[in-house]
Amino acid sequence: MDIIKEIKKLLFNIDREINVVNSLKDIVELIKKFSIRAEEIIKIVLTEKINAKDKVLNDLAVYCFNEGLYDYIIPFLKASYDINSQHLDTLYNLGYFLSLLGEKRLALRYLESVGERDEQILNLINEIKSSIQKIKNDVMKLIEEGKITEAEKMAEENKNALEDKDEYIIKGLIAIKKGNLDEAEKILMEGLHKHADDFSLNYYMGLLYKIKCEYKLSEYYYKKGLDKAKNDNEIGRIYKDLQYLYYDYATYLEKKGIKSDAAVYYGLSCRYAKDKDLKNKLENLYGNNKTLRNIFDVAKQAQRRRYIILSSCGWGGIYQRPHHIARSLTKFGHEVMYVTPTVKVNISDKDFTVDDLVRYTFDNKIVVDGVNIFVPISVEHNGKEIITNYIEVVQKLIDSTKIESEPVIITYMPYQVNVIKSLKGRFIHIYECVDDHTDLENAFWGTKKDSIWEQELMDLADGITTTSLALYLERAAIEKRENVFLSRNAVNEEDFLIDNIHDIPEDLRNIPEPRIVYVGAIYKWFDKELFYDIIEANPDKSFVVIGFGDEKILDKKFNNLYFLGAKKHSELRNYLRYMQIGIIPFKDDENIVISCDPIKQYEYLACGLPVITTYMPETAIDKPYTFLATTAEEFNKAIKECLYLKCEEEVIDDFLVENSWNARAALLCRIADKAIVEEERESLEKHIKEMLDNIVQKYKWPIFQAMKAAYLNLEDGKRFEEASKEVYNLKKTNYTERLYLKALIQNHNIADLMNVILNSSFVREELKQEILYLQKTNNLKGIFVIGSICINDIKTALKLIGELDDDNLKVIYHIYLKTLLEEPVTQSERSLLFSFNHDSYIYKFLKRQIRREEIKNIYFNFYNQPFISIIVPTRNSADIVEYTLKTCIEQNYDNYEIIVSDNSSPEDEDTRRIVEELNCEKIKYYRTNGNLAVIENYEFAYEKANGEYMIILGSDDGLLLHCLEILPNLIKQFDYPLSISWDVVAYGWPNVAINSIRNGLFIPYPTQKSNIKYSIYDESVLKAVLNFEMRYSVLPMFYYNSVIKRDLAERIKKKVGKIFYCPPPDVYTGIVFAYLQRKYIYVHMPMTIGGSSHRSSGVNGLAKFNNFIGNNVVRYDTLEFEIKKLYEIGVPYEKFNAPYFAGEEGSVLIAALKAKELFFANDNNFEINVNNFFKACTKYLFNDENLEEKKKILYECILRYGDESLIKWYEDNYLNNKYFVGYENYFNSPLVPMFMENGRLIIDASKFGVTNVYEAAKLYRNIVGY
């Protein structure tokens, strides 16, 4: 019998439904009898002309099941499924049979792929799911009962039934039960990577961290689980665990002494509590402490919201109020979105949309302490802003909130009014008023329009908080606003009280006690003369400055004064712990100081330091262990008292409770929820009155009395005028005068108003003259306009201008206000002003000003020279100088030139071709006459430059792309100094010979663009370089690390006839400029990239020159040429007695010897330590085949030098030391990318596609943000 033929016949019968049962029976018998494999029958079905192939295979599977041929069932069904994946019977049978075989997950997959499910399929699905759930429940029950072995066995037997995520959960729980918590963490984390949205995995991860007492991580995963919960049961499980998690964490914090955080988490425990006993226990907390009770209540019941913080500063290591507020709001369970100021980005093409930038900002969000940080972008092209995404980012944050309650926007800067006005949708707006923006002299961070913008911003605010009593009185008492709340600065207990404090910092270790510290900014309001007097009067005490700002202010040096620079917020506690007193010596009559509530005072007190301040209102109110002093004698008396004062821990604890950032964040939550009642406002004002009475009585200081006068305006405007007049007559300061003027304007006392203005030392002369004109013309409305301008109330002034009867005077005053606010006066406005005549003094003043400006512009257009020259001396380096020039071209600045001095070989025209191709009008190309030495080319290039300030770049160096946007402003800020130096980014070109730097981008720790830090380096730096204790790169070189004023360069030229007298020109000029200046500015923001390539000259090149001389072998054509030229101009290298391998130390020695010969030969304060030079040379004794030769050469140099002690030192440690086998040659080591403790970053730029210095500059911008 032909078996295959018979099977085909039977299959055709089944397909045609002819005697189907018997045909199936016969096929099964043939299978059994002849052991026919399933694959053979499937092949026949697939290859023959059978119409319903899927049905035939399905029928075969069912009959095989009935006949016990189980191995045939699944192959037949899968073949049927492959033919028709929607065949209902096939899907049902696959599900049914796989379920029987224990493959329940696979069974469900087939069943759930059915689109329209009938009752039979639904029943089977539910039956399988119930079976799976039962298996899972049984395993979980065994785990719960501690029957781990049985649980593991059951899980293994049913692994094909359990879902993948359930396997992770079971394995994780078993690991927890066994005490293998790290293993459990690894298992559950792996599961979450696959199933991030699974409720149970997030829940059990939260449970694991709860067991590990990692409370914040536990909270994080529990909350993720809450977001993924699908029913009330799952929500209930999370709530049940959260109540105990928060309770345990709060208890832990309370034991640590972190009371305000404990109040937050007790409140959150109560919020989620289902345990009635626990809830009752929590409700009875803080009956006697209103502050902690407020924090507790807010955590317990405040509406959960999204808070969008429009910050005035980026997110870095130094924390200010917006950072602290953001961190505290997250503790309360809110979603916090922190929006930094925009970062500027320069691009070469315009192919960007706002949506692209918004997407980029959101994709690059970072999270710190639960705060989501967003960095908006402003894109510039050819120096002009073409797109910014700031408003769109904020709008998206509003639109994307999933929380039911309205989002809250918190603003900090007046200019943000334009953002608020542009936003759509419902939101609550709170303005945090932290500075006096009418103080235009000291509020350097803003613009002249801030005072009017701030008024508009406050008009749009649902709530206003003020950080000082002076600001509160201005808003509530003077401006009569009703939605104002006092919210002083504060401290985070955890940042200063937690016990994991390290040993004394290294830079503090050698500073003797007692130590008196100032932490914070150094700006114009810092009273340096008072500070100097205090230092001089206390030579036995150390004064330590930790901070940033204009260090040029503190230009004197004392043996007991130490500058430690800025420190990260996380480092402060460990410094303050080792201090004895904290001080704040501010000028106490500056408006900005009167309105200031220094965070540093809170931080001093948190560390148990007594505090001495000048007479500042906020430091005098509600602050323990604080002494006020206004003279050096009073400071000295307070210092003596503080050194013997012990700050009681209980008092400090109470202070920290009252002044925690959690308390401030709680107030914001209550403002947003409209939960503050009128009784609280009345209570606050009563407390303010008591505080003012106390400080006025205690200190009898006019500023304090003026504030009390301002308070009186809440009660009686007439008493306000009388009291402010009394204080004004007592002491005429800017603050007391402005307050009195406000009272006079409010009460329409026009006679006294004119008298005060006319006798003022603070009012501009043209305003005084205008008052006389208005008095003469009896223009009372005009007088009130001028009065409003005198107190910088521009909003009221504009309103009153509109009410004037004289239309021409309206034009005059409007244009005058524009000039005050530094807005450009348009041509049409100028024409209008000159179209009529007027007797107003301001009219005449404006005409004079405008004519002067026009003359100035004419002069500028005729005689304009570039402010900055970028000088690029080059030789035979067209392949790399192209990219140097590109960095110079792509700058957001206009008033500069690029000087290219081409010293290439006569036949080399490549550099000229590159310049022509770049086609940039900024570039001025010059070809040298004949071949010049490097220093001759530098001199030639200098003579071609026209700028007042100059930077020299080598052929492989470059400007960072923000350089000329920042540098001119720094020059003006520092009042046009002789030089400014900076940290340099280093880049190793791909073709550089040194392995350890090849492709490396070495980025020093950068300061924020909005807060550039700097140091004042003095002669000690030059001495350290000459002593070979510090690298030459800190010197103010006429090279890539400095911008040099022409006046300084000409001083050298005047003395010795030329600037670049000796190679290497960078080191030589650095030594000379440092000596001539003695003090110079060093900015901690990179401006340039120092490149190292196969074309490098300067110090690296000199090392090669020395190498050439030492080996007496010509290896480099360029070097051979250079050596020859140097001999021609009288600089023979062999006379310097330096070994050929001396590297940069050899360069410093040669340059220093020449500089001393020419400039300070008789100055014994600046000596060159040749002994240290030779000692430094030993670091080049590498463990290689040249070691013995180098040891011998260095020994010969030392012998020629002749110092006996040095000779013996070298013989003992190197020449005759059999244990010295040479140092590892770090030049040959591979590049090691890393992030260093000092904030320096080293990356392999080639990993980002960087092959030249221009691409390196762009990569820097992408990393740092500017």
Residue pLDDT, tens place only, 291-308: 999 999 999 999 999 999
Query: Do residues 733 and 703 touch, judged by C-beta distance below 8 A?
Result: yes
pLDDT of 1112 above 50: no
Pick the closest to residue 877 from 807, 953, 944 (CA basis).
Answer: 953
Distance CA(900)–CA(920), nearest Å, equals 12
- Tell me what pLDDT residue 1096 has: 64
For 891-948, write each residue's pLDDT tens digit. 988 889 999 999 887 778 889 999 999 999 999 999 988 778 888 999 999 999 999 9
DSSP per-residue string spanning 340-388:
PPPEEEE-S-----HHHHHHHHHHT-EEETTEEEE--EEEEETTEEEEE
Task: Check residues 574 and 431 and name the one with the higher pLDDT.
Answer: 431
Pick the closest to residue 1092 from 1001, 1153, 1204, 1196 (CA basis).
Answer: 1001
Please compute the mean of the pLDDT values over residues 658-674 and round it to a whole number. 95
For 676-703, write each residue's pLDDT tens digit. 988 888 899 999 999 999 999 988 899 9
pLDDT of 288 above 70: yes
Helix/strand/coil percent split, the chain, to 5? 55, 10, 35
Please name every residue paired with 381 in a beta bridge, in sequence order, or none if there are none: 384
The pLDDT > 90 percentage for the chain reads 54
Query: Do residues 927 and 911 touch, judged by C-beta distance below 8 A?
Result: no
List the strands of the sheet with 985-988, edge to edge.
958-959, 1088-1092, 985-988, 1000-1003, 1241-1244, 1234-1235
pLDDT of 549 above 70: no
Please compute the mean of the pLDDT values over residues 361-380 and round it to a whole number. 91
Pick the closest to residue 65 from 79, 54, 75, 53 (CA basis).
Answer: 75
| Helices and strands: H and E segment counts in the chain | 58, 31
Pick the closest to residue 194 from 166, 216, 213 (CA basis).
Answer: 166
Distance CA(1007)–CA(318), nearest Å, equals 11
- Tell me what pLDDT residue 404 has: 86
- Tell me what pLDDT residue 1123 has: 52
Band (1122; pLDDT cuts 50, 70, 90)? low
Pick the closest to residue 26 from 3, 44, 45 (CA basis).
Answer: 3
Compute the mean pLDDT over every residue in the chain, rounded to the nearest whole number: 88
Band (972; pLDDT cuts 50, 70, 90)? confident
Pick the closest to residue 785 from 772, 767, 769, 759 (CA basis).
Answer: 767
- Tell me what pLDDT residue 1107 has: 36
For 819-851, write each residue's pLDDT tens digit. 888 888 887 888 888 899 999 999 999 988 887
- Tell me what pLDDT residue 319 has: 86
Please compute the mean of the pLDDT values over residues 1061-1065 and round it to a whole number. 86
Query: Do residues 194 and 164 touch, judged by C-beta distance below 8 A?
Result: yes
pLDDT of 1086 above 70: yes
Query: Do residues 446 and 437 touch, judged by C-beta distance below 8 A?
Result: yes
Query: Do residues 564 and 575 touch, judged by C-beta distance below 8 A?
Result: yes
Q: What separation in angstroms does the CA of 363 have from each of 164, 366, 467?
A: 30, 9, 34
Of the listed ranges 197-211, 695-709, 1098-1112, the one predicted with least confidence: 1098-1112
- CATH classification for the domain delimited by 493-596+614-659, as one of 3.40.50.300, 3.40.50.2000, 3.30.420.40, 3.10.129.10: 3.40.50.2000
Query: Do residues 1149 and 1176 touch, judged by C-beta distance below 8 A?
Result: no
Decide the pairing of beta strands 1080-1083 and 1014-1017. antiparallel
Distance CA(663)–CA(291), nearest Å, equals 7
Please compute the mean of the pLDDT values over residues 869-891 and round it to a whole number. 94
- Tell me what pLDDT residue 861 has: 47
Sign of CA dihedral 576, 582, 587, 592: positive
Q: Which H or E element spans position 706? A: helix 702-712
Please compute the mean of the pLDDT values over residues 869-887 and round it to a whole number. 94
Q: CA gyration radius for the chain?
A: 40
Query: Do residues 1232 and 995 touch, judged by C-beta distance below 8 A?
Result: no
Q: Which H or E element spans position 281? A: helix 276-283
Of the listed ranges 190-204, 487-501, 520-534, 1156-1170, the one predicted with least confidence: 487-501
pLDDT of 317 above 70: yes
Query: Do residues 80 and 87 touch, judged by C-beta distance below 8 A?
Result: yes
- Tell me what pLDDT residue 1109 has: 30
Please compute the mean of the pLDDT values over residues 1237-1255 and round it to a whole number. 88
302-486 matches 493-596+614-659 in fold = yes
The domains of the chain are located at: 246-301, 302-486, 493-596+614-659, 868-1215
Distance CA(777)–CA(771), nearest Å, equals 10
For 74-121, write each residue's pLDDT tens digit. 898 899 888 988 888 888 888 888 888 778 888 888 888 887 888 888
Please compute the mean of the pLDDT values over residues 729-758 and round it to a whole number. 95
- What are the backbone angles phi and psi of residue 586, rounded to the nearest 5°? -95, 155
Task: Check residues 857 and 188 and name the one with the higher pLDDT.
Answer: 188
Query: Do residues 548 and 518 touch, judged by C-beta distance below 8 A?
Result: no
- Tell me what pLDDT residue 1101 has: 38
- CATH classification for the domain delimited by 868-1215, as one of 3.40.50.300, 3.90.550.10, 3.90.1150.200, 3.90.1150.10: 3.90.550.10
Distance CA(1230)–CA(1232), nearest Å, equals 6
pLDDT of 1088 above 50: yes
Distance CA(487)–CA(680), nearest Å, equals 13
pLDDT of 802 above 70: yes
Band (498; pLDDT cuts 50, 70, 90)? low
Say which CATH superfamily domain 302-486 falls into: Glycogen Phosphorylase B; (3.40.50.2000)
Pick the closest to residue 734 from 761, 714, 710 (CA basis).
Answer: 761
Please compute the mean of the pLDDT values over residues 1089-1101 and round it to a whole number. 67
Please compute the mean of the pLDDT values over residues 759-772 and round it to a whole number. 94
Band (740; pLDDT cuts 50, 70, 90)? very high
Where b means 16+ CB within 10 Å and e means fewer, 221-260 reads: bbbbbbebbeeeebeebbbebbbebbbbbbeebeeebbbb
Q: Where is mean pLDDT largest: 382-396, 676-690, 953-967, 1210-1224?
A: 953-967
Distance CA(80)–CA(1146), nearest Å, equals 84
